[in-house]
Structures are given as C-alpha cells and as structure tokens.
A and B are shown apart, each in its own frame.
Chain A
Amino acid sequence: MYRIRARYEKRGRVKYLGHLEMIKVFERAFRRVEVPLKYTEGFNPHPKMSFALPSSVGFSSIGEYIDVEVTEAFKMDKFIDAMNSALPDGLKVIAGGYVDIKAKSLMSLVDYSEFEIDFPMDAETDKDSILEFEKILETGPIPARKRTKSGKFVEKDLKDDIHGYEVIRFESNQIILKVLLSAGSRGNLNPLFLLKGLGEKFGWNIDSCNANILRKDLFSKTDSGPISLEKTVSEVEIQ
C-alpha cells in the first residue's frame, strides 16, 4: 500500500465547485486514468483519499492538497500527466510525491494559509494612508466580533491571526495584499472575514463579490518556521 500526496491548483470556473463536488471530480478522474485506488470496505466502497483544508467556494488556489492511497506504486511524473489528462479544465496537479502510509493526516498538518487578496475600495490613498494600513497589519488592532460555537459573540483582534503580510499594490481603487493567516483546526481566519474587518477599521466600502482571492499555499508550523505542505513528501522516488 502506498500513499500519494499531490498539490494541485484550482482556477477559473472550477473555483465554484464545493468540496463534495471536488471529491467526486477526483474520484472519477482516478478511475478514468485507472489509478489502482485502495477502497474502503463496506457496502458503498469509496477510494481512500483526503484533502487538506479545501479552499472556499469562489477562491482560486494554487495550493490545494490531496492524499490518496493506491495499491501499486508508479512514477510520479506519470501519475501527474495521467491526472492532468483526466481532470477538468482549471484543475491541475502541479507536484506530487509519496508519504509514509502511516504519516499524519493532511488536515492535521495545516497551520497557516497564504492568500493573495485583490479588492477594490473607495478611499483616497496617499503615502500616509499606506503607512497607516501597514501599521495596522503589523500591530493591530483589527477588531471583529466572532460568534463562538455556543452562539455567543466575542471580541477578537484579527491581527492575532495574521502571521505575515506584504502590500503588493495600494492604489486609489485597488489593494493587492499578500497575507499569511492562521488556518486549520487550531485557529482559522477566512480572508473574507479579514476584508470585512479591514473595511470596518478603515471605513471602506468593500464589496466582497468584487474581491479576487487566490490561495497560494498551505503551511505547517515547525521549529524552523512555516514549511509548505509540498515539502512534507519523501525525497525518495518510489519505482
């Protein structure tokens, strides 16, 4: 038994696929290319596969990950070519490798998510306002009300979930911002929620339907800093 970990991108119209649809798309692509999948037991056998924190409906991504178990190993470049011949336009496997069959689940590895957020806003911009914007991203506060599982509202500073940022563009109608946000089961900040917080903080009127959000990658927290999930595969190619 082998476990493949693949990184793929989701761009264009397929960014509107929900996660359950994505599962089906992959299941069928695997079957079409005759990848020898390992199935679960039971009356409704399913291939054994799992995803790392799939990005939301409407977000583009170049940093999606899937693990799938197969009964036979084969060369990774062959696997990638085969998958790309079978996936619909917009979905593309860009890297892959093997991980130990008993390795930690993809989902449990996720600590950070990197996004590029491109959004229009309606404010005048000058040097001072850029500095002000950067200062807030650096030190906060970006207050927000968040509903807890018990239904209560709590005040939060979104800054606590921003672990890195870069202002790529800051012009009168457009901001392009790269951020590294908390992600996964130990804390998660949705970039749309951040946008809302920023809008309230600066008094901007942001129409989130006009924002383009691209997830660039997912990272795991390590002692030597965040590492991309792509780096969690074995170095050795299985023949």
Chain B
Amino acid sequence: MQIDYLLKQVEKPSRYIGGEVNSVNKEIKEGQVRFGFAFPDVYEVGMSFMGLQILYFLLNEMEDVFCERLFAPWTDMEKVMRDSETPLFTMESRTPAGELDIIGFTLQYEMSYSNILNMMDLAGMPVFAKDRDDSHPIVIAGGPCAFNPEPLADFVDVVFIGDSEDILLEFIERFKIHKAGKTAKDEFLKSITDIPGIYVPSFYESVYKDGIYAGTKPIEKEAPLLVKKNMVMDLDNSYFPLKQIIPYADAVHDRAVVEIFRGCTRGCRFCHAGMVYRPVRERSVEKIAEITENIIENTGYEEISLASLSTSDHSHIKPLVEMLLDRYEKEKVGISLPSLRLDSFPIEILEKIQSVRKTGLTFAPEAGTQRMRDVINKGIDEKDLMESVVNAFDLGWDTVKLYFMIGLPTETNEDLDGIYDLAKKVVEAYYRMPREKRRRKPRITVSVSNFVPKAFTPFQWEGQDEPSVFNDKHMYLNKLFKREKAIQFNYHDSDTSFIESIFSRGDRRLCDVLHRAWLSGCKFDSWSDYFDYEKWMNAMEESGLDPLAYANRIFDYGQALPWDHISAGIDKEFLAKENEKAKMGQLTPDCRQGCCNCGIMTNYRGACDV
C-alpha cells in the first residue's frame, strides 16, 4: 500500500491516519456531495479548532454529504508525497483532494495563507481560481480572516463572511442542483450571490490611483455592492455537535469544548473578534449542560472547556460553573475557562475548579499603564487586578501568566515601563505573604505580543510599529526583565507580526505577493523554524509593493479601505469615533451598561438583546 509506505518514513505518522474515535466514515456513493474541510496547518493545530468539529458533524449529519478532513502535511510528509507523486488525500477515505466537490479552507490566521496554496498544489489543482474549471473542486473559505478576504481573492472561488452554520447548508443545497444539472461553474457562482454572507471575489474588480487602493466594484450584475456578514441569531437553536473527534498525535487542545457564547460586549479597540462577531449571543445554561453531558459521554474526556471570547462574561457563569462542578466532581472531569477576565471572576469558584486539576492562572491586562488601558478600552484597573492576584496567591497559586501587547497607538516608554512595574508588583505581592504560605518561588511569565491593526476594528486606520522599533522595544523590556529572576519574559517575533499586518490590511495586489512567496518556498509561516522573512520581502519587492504602505502607514478616514465592500454589521463611523476616543483616552462602556450604537442594532434588527 502506497500511503503505508510513506507513513513508515515520517515522524508522527498518526497525524495522517484518521479513524479516530467519533470520526465519520461513509460509503462513497454516486450523487453524494464530497466535502473537504481543510485546515491550512498541521493536524495537531487543526484538530484543536472548535469550528472544525462544528462544521464536520453538521455536514456529516446530512445523509448525502460526506465531509472529510484535510490538513497541511508536515514538511517530511510533503517531501515523500511529492517524491512519490502522492496527492494530498483526505483523512477519512484517503481520497485524493482533487476529486472532491468542494474544499473549504478555514482562515484562522494570516500566516497560514501560504499553506493554502501549497495544499491546493499538493492536491494537483491550479492555485488560481481562474485556472480551475468544472473538473476541479470549488474552493471556499471562511473564518475570522475572511472579513478581509482580498489577499486571497485570486485563489478562492467563494468566501463565507460571518457565521456559516446555516448558509453552508444552503450553499450545499444549491451545489446539489448545480452538480445534478451540470451547470457551468460561473453560472453556479452567479446563482449563490443572494445567500447572505456569500462573496464571490471574481465578480469584483479593484481600482488603484497612483499606486494607492481606490475601491472595489462589482463587475457582474449578480454581485451585491455590499456583502453583509451572515449571523446566527439564536445560539440555542443553532447546531452544536454532541460528540467530538478525539484527535491523535498530541493535539494542542485535547479536551471537550462547548461554545457558551459568541461575540463580546467589551469593546476592546484592538480586538478583531470582539468587533466582527458582535453582538453577543449566549447559549443557555440548560443547553450547555445538555451538550456537555453528551460530549463527555461520547468522548470520555477528562476536561471540559467553556469556550468564548471572554468566558467570565456569560451572564450565568457562576451558576453554570457550580452546576458543572457538582455534576462532574465524582467522575473527575475538570473544567477549564479559557480567556477568563479574572478581575471579574470570583476566585473562590476558581479554587473549586482547581481542586480537581491544578493549572496556572492567566491574566491579560494587555497594557502596562492605566492611560494605555483606557486607550484600548480594556476596562481593567490595577487595583482589581492586584486584588485578584493577591487572592490567588493566598489560595495557593504560584504560577501566573501576564499577557501584554506593545506597539499600540500612542504608546510611549512610560507604557513599556508600566509593563515591567506591573509584573514586579505581582512578584512583590507574592513575597508580602507570610513565609509559611510561600511553598516555593513564584513563577511569573510575561508574554508580549505585537499590535497588528485589523480590519473592522477602531484601530484599522492605525499603523504598526516598524520591525526595528519593535526590536528596540523588545530589547528595552528584555533589559528590564533580566534583573528579575522570578519573571520569565517572552515576546513575539516582530518580522512575523509585520507580514501579518501587511496581510491583515492588504488588498488584492497581495495575491501576487503570496503567490511569489509560496513559489519561493514559503510555508508554515507561523512556525518560527520555517518563517523566512527575506522571501516575503523579496516577494513584496518583485510585486512592486511597499510593505510599509500596508503595515505601518496611518490610513486617512476618507481613504477607501480594501474591505469597504464587506460589512461586519458595525458602522464605519462608530469605528472612527472609537479611534478618536482612544486618542483622548476616553472609555466606551460595555454593551451591557448601555448601547454605544455600533450599528449592529440597526443593521441586524433584533439581534442584540443585552
């Protein structure tokens, strides 16, 4: 067997075997829609993604659809595949990906884009949409990065903007008609532009004036002027799987997950997800309990993660957690609360959670000074934070992670010092405890990420620091933290953040850059061992584009933005107003304390009920 022969030559062969508990295998039949859910990164990363589990089971519940999985083979596997001319194959039935009807890529981060081209190429299909015909799969894409789809416009056939549970099913129904009637690909694409959230990039054309982006207009009458995001209004009545594939190969997250709400009410001004997934939509405690019960029973997982953008903000979080603790204490199922705002969460409940399984605590003050936290609208104050930390230490924790972002608009050295000062205060708080309470040295980790301006956020107009500026700031902080034995200081690579920034605010001309970078060998760019900055810079230069113009330039409010023909439901005026308020350090309250008129209320009537 060919694939067997390859598997004996690679590291971690279980990445490629499929057949995990709860994975689906169907008999292949005539007339079936063959769907490939493609995650453009390695198996362990892809299998940790909740969206995969949702859409995989949603599609496979349809009798005449067979949804299989595709991942980017790791470079050792890619080599033996290319040497033996083995095309990219599905995990389930090992069908060559090029024989599928539809391949759907999920866009979780910009640095995975080169893998999308590589996977299409490994599947033996042309990477440009215009070069693919009816004999090739239709390539669709969705996910958070789809809100600015332009850097992928030449490669994908259809982009799903926003939530896609319901429109994916509608899309499949239309596809069945297309497949049965053997209509041309172009006709099919024209027939789906009325589905909410569907964007067909080839039906639009972008214009530039003096090398500056000047707008995108439809060139087909079927294409709407503005593509509005699709939204699932009622999470309780929307699909959520009652089981999960249990991954092999040490997945990054290997635990049960239930999504407890979508969207966020906080309004942090740098946060992409917090803006584009507005408004907040909660799943009820009863529904969460029901889903959890089923997933635990069907998986045997020893941990349930309550996922959302800001888990402690669920309006019934305390009763929910207490109920789950009661229910699963005997079976030793732990509860994990990612993205927790500890300033607003009672530590006593955390203590109960940790009595089952002990882990570190994570705080995300994001900025070091109150001024800067006000600029980004992160409504945390130092007093609350320190109170939570002191409480946590008192209850026996000694491992704390602190997340910060640097390069934010208006940042000065004082704000960098603030990061150091805050971390130091945390250490001091530990040593202020009576000696008998300190079992060992505290372990404090400070992680610093680099600000990347994202489409549809108040900071979308703001420029990023140049890589050299980031490097100076990293060195500055490194020097400060070097003195502190109890603090481990980490920071993100500035070159990677730079490319990410180019793509997050990019227009269609970046398709050429991406293509060139991929041709020169770029792949797995989110892995520092593979990221090759020179290749990306060369690709920019060959395309005749100025990287600084994308990543670092401040855009004018009046200037056309490459994502203006897409709507995330929030008004551009609101974003601009927020950006101005940021400069003055003015706060905007949480949605729950009063509507700030972001536009969701008027654009999606009835959607917002906070």
Contact = CB atoms under 8 A, between A and B. Distances in A.
A16 interface: yes
A14 B17 contact: yes
B8 interface: yes
B297 A32 contact: yes
Given A13-B18, A14-B19, A28 B246 contact: yes
Interface string A45-82: 10000000000011000000000000000000000000
A39 interface: yes
B370 interface: no
Contacts of A86: 21, 300
A35 to B, nearest CB: 10
Nearest to A32: B300
Residue with the greatest number of chain B CB neighbours at <10 A, chosen from A25, A39, A87: A25
B434 to A, nearest CB: 23
Nearest to B301: A28
Interface in B165-217: none
A21 B250 contact: yes
B300 A88 contact: no
Nearest to B94: A13
A87 B246 CA distance: 11
A58 B7 contact: yes
B21 A88 contact: yes
Contacts of B254: 24
A43 B358 contact: yes
Could you say which interface size class chain B belongs to? 20 to 34
Contacts of B19: 12-14, 88-90
B95 to A, nearest CB: 15
Contacts of A39: 332
A87 B21 CA distance: 7
Contacts of A58: 7-8, 13
A16 to B, nearest CB: 4
A39 B302 CA distance: 12
Interface in B229-282: 246, 248-250, 254
Interface in A5-43: 12-14, 16-18, 20-21, 24-25, 27-32, 39, 43
B14 A16 contact: yes
A28 B14 contact: no
Contacts, number: 67
A90 B23 CA distance: 14
B250 to A, nearest CB: 7
Given A28-B246, A43-B357, A58-B8, A16 B300 contact: no
Contact of B17 (A16, A28, A209): A16
A224 interface: no
B412 interface: no
A11 to B, nearest CB: 11
A44 interface: yes
B244 to A, nearest CB: 11
B478 interface: no
Contacts of B9: 209
Interface in B2-28: 5, 7-9, 12-14, 16-21
A57 B298 contact: no
B299 interface: yes
Contact of B302 (A25, A31, A208): A31
A60 to B, nearest CB: 11
A150 interface: no
Contacts of A222: none
B173 to A, nearest CB: 32
Given A13-B19, A32-B298, A21 B332 contact: no
B5 A209 contact: yes
A196 B358 CA distance: 47
The interface residues of chain B, by DSSP majority, are classed as loop
A210 interface: yes
Main secondary structure of the interface of A (DSSP, over half): helix
A229 to B, nearest CB: 26
Interface string B23-40: 000000000000000000
A13 B23 CA distance: 13
A30 B18 CA distance: 21
A176 to B, nearest CB: 17
B8 to A, nearest CB: 4
Which of A21, A31, A90, A210 has the largest count of B CB atoms less than 10 A from its CB? Answer: A31
Contact of A21 (B5, B16, B249, B299): B249
A218 B19 CA distance: 27
Interface residues of A, number: 30
B3 to A, nearest CB: 9
Nearest to B355: A43
B102 to A, nearest CB: 25
A39 B13 CA distance: 30
B300 A21 contact: no
B13 A32 contact: no
Contacts of A90: 19
A207 B108 CA distance: 41
A13 B299 CA distance: 20
B58 to A, nearest CB: 22
Contacts of B331: 31
Contacts of A32: 297-300
A88 B20 contact: yes
A14 B297 CA distance: 23
Given A16-B13, A58-B13, A88-B20, A28 B300 contact: yes
Nearest to A18: B14
Contacts of B250: 20-21
Contacts of A25: 21, 246, 248
B17 A30 contact: no
A20 B251 CA distance: 12
A30 B302 CA distance: 11
B21 A28 contact: yes
A17 B248 contact: yes
A21 B248 contact: yes
Interface string B284-321: 00000000000001111110000000000000000000
A16 B7 contact: yes
Contacts of A30: 300
Contacts of B357: 43-44
A29 B246 CA distance: 11
Contacts of A31: 300-302, 331
A233 B16 CA distance: 37
A20 B17 CA distance: 16
22 contacts: A12-B19, A14-B19, A16-B7, A16-B13, A16-B16, A16-B17, A17-B14, A18-B14, A21-B249, A21-B250, A27-B302, A28-B246, A29-B21, A32-B297, A45-B332, A58-B7, A86-B21, A86-B300, A87-B21, A88-B19, A88-B21, A209-B8
8 cross-chain pairs, A with B, having the tightest CB-CB distances, nearest first:
A31-B300, A28-B300, A32-B300, A16-B13, A13-B17, A209-B8, A43-B358, A13-B19
Given A28-B299, A39-B332, 14 more contacts: A12-B19, A13-B18, A21-B14, A28-B302, A29-B21, A31-B331, A32-B297, A32-B298, A32-B299, A44-B357, A44-B358, A45-B332, A58-B8, A208-B8
Interface of A: 12-14, 16-18, 20-21, 24-25, 27-32, 39, 43-45, 57-58, 86-90, 208-210
